[in-house]
Structure 1
Amino acid sequence: MIKRIPSAKVNSLQPVDEFNSCAETIRKFFLLPHPQRIIEAILFSASEPVSSRKLSLLLKRSEKEILSLIESLNSEYERDGHSFRIHRIFSGYQIYTLPEYGEWVKKLFATKKPKLSQAAKEVLSIVALKQPVTKTEIDKIRGVDSTSTLHYLLERKLIKIAGRAKRLGAPFIYKTTDEFLKYFGLQSLEDLPKEEELDSFFNRT
């Protein structure tokens, strides 16, 4: 007598499940924002410059890729006639309005930035030129005590304490900040005028 072997049960749903899973993965992939748009959103939202390292960590991409994406964005902005670009400013990147639109932007922010005193301009010019520099060195150049002026500039975030000098007493050393660059409309310290032109530069501001 021949025994009947029961037929194996075929799970007809398995291929369908695999297809649905694959389709869902593809759908999610195409719904993800483009990395250029993510960088754009971050820079539009940030009140301070964002470093390429920070962008690299946020997007999980190399810094080289981040720089390439920023270049592509700027090319896109130029091609499409946008009024802004992404600029590198000291420690990071920030979106800036092109100079030709500055007149209208200034009307929006009608309140003027506080004027700096002559003493503040003197100390700033010394810090900008000699940084990192100690209070003693600043006082020696100016011939007067600069304590109150340094405190004022620290409060305005135009300078910062950048550590201590490696000598007797370990005095604080001072450097300019990103806020200093923004206040004077500079992209980097390399844009500062020559030493003999510094006084007139600060007095124009």
Structure 2
Amino acid sequence: AIAFHQPISRDGLKEIFGKEISRDLIGRLADRDLIGTGPREPRRGAPYTFVTMDTFLAVFGMESLRDLPDPEQLADAGLAGPSEALDI
């Protein structure tokens, strides 16, 4: 979801998944250098946003984010239903 919607905050991820995304999960992804902090959101409290890092691309065998599958490919592979909230 971060790769498809970056930069995105934890609140944005909550909207996609319908539940809170723990700081621990965000921390584990950051520790593995899969995500990093992006610009702060221009709203009250200025929450951090998250973006993918070059390690994310390397781990998943991509040269750029243009290599991400489109939502139809994900649905065909059984990884997302057509009604799931990728909202690309």
TM over 0.5: yes
Residue 175 of structure 1 aligns to a residue in which SS? strand
Q: Which residue of 2 aligns with 1:56?
A: none
Gaps of 5+ in 2: 80-88
Which residue matches 1:146?
21
Secondary structure of the residue that 2:66 maps to in structure 1? helix
Residue aligning to 1:131: 6
Aligned-partner residue type, residue 141 of structure 1: I
* Cα distance, 1:143–1:167 mapped onto 2, change above 3 Å: same
Question: Alignment length, in residue pairs?
Answer: 77
Gaps of 5+ in 1: 1-125
- The 4+ residue runs of structure 1 with deviation greater than 3 A are 198-202
Cα separation, 2, equivalents of 1:201 and 1:133? 25
How many angstroms does 1:198 deviate by?
A: 3.9
Identify the structure with bigger relative contact order (alpha carbons < 8 Å, sequence gap 6+).
2
Instruction: Quote the Cα distance in structure 2 between the aligned partners of 1:150 and 1:176.
Output: 12
TM-score, normalised relative to structure 2: 0.77
Q: Distance in 1 between matches of 2:64 and 2:42?
A: 27
Larger Rg: 1
TM-score, normalization: structure 1?
A: 0.35
1:171, 1:153 → 2: CA distance? 18
Across the aligned residues of Structure 1 and Structure 2, the Cα RMSD in angstroms comes to 1.9
